């Protein structure tokens, strides 16, 4: 699923214009210049086949938009949200942004905006 998410983000001119191709599973390498994106699967859930999802398997992913300034991290998060909220793309029936928050990590020089997304 990571490769599908990466492909969708790289297809967005807004995202690619901000980070090029710097999207990583897990953590962004320490040697990488910011801004960049990291993403990982938080969980996999199975929907009740009696509800509207029809028994689909959903994966919750955390997308981390990292930059040296809060303004740039938020601009990147805006581009990611516009690209992935309520969208369909190759191999994915639906993506839904469920939460977004700003959470600076312990290194005060790096700013992070986090997007929580569910993909079916």
Domains, in order of start, for the chain:
2-47+54-119 (3.30.2000.10)
Q: Tell me the CA distances in angstroms from 25 to 49, 52, 55, 95, 117, one per residue in order.
A: 30, 31, 27, 18, 15
The verdict on whether omega for the bond into residue 105 sits within 30 degrees of 0, i.e. cis, is no
- Residue 34 to residue 81: CA distance in whole angstroms: 19
Three-state secondary-structure class, residue 91: coil
Determine the pLDDT at residue 80. Answer: 97
Q: Are 65 and 76 in contact (CB under 8 A)?
A: yes
pLDDT in tens, the chain (120 residues): 999 999 999 999 999 999 999 999 999 999 999 999 999 999 987 766 555 555 667 899 999 999 999 899 999 999 999 999 988 887 888 899 999 998 765 566 889 999 999 998
CB-based contacts of 93-96 (< 8 A; 24+ apart in sequence): 93/56, 93/120, 94/119, 94/120, 95/8, 95/119, 95/120
Q: Which alpha helices (DSSP H) does the chain contain, by range? A: 2-10, 13-19, 70-84
Q: What is the pTM of this model?
A: 0.86
Determine the pLDDT at residue 87. Answer: 85
Determine the pLDDT at residue 25. Answer: 98
Determine the pLDDT at residue 53. Answer: 52
Per-residue tokens: 25: 């599973």
Determine the pLDDT at residue 89. Answer: 81
């Amino acid at each position: 699923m990571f490769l599908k998410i990466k492909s969708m983000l790289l297809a967005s001119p807004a995202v690619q214009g901000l980070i090029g191709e710097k999207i990583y599973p897990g953590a962004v390498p320490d040697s990488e210049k910011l801004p960049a994106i990291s993403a990982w699967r938080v969980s996999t859930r199975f929907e009740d086949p009696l509800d509207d999802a029809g028994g689909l398997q959903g994966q919750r992913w955390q997308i981390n938009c990292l930059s040296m300034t809060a303004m740039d991290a938020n601009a990147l998060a805006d581009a990611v949200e516009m690209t992935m909220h309520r969208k369909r793309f190759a191999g994915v029936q639906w993506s839904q942004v469920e939460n977004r928050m700003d959470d600076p990590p312990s290194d005060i020089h790096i700013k992070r905006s986090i997007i929580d997304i569910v993909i079916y």
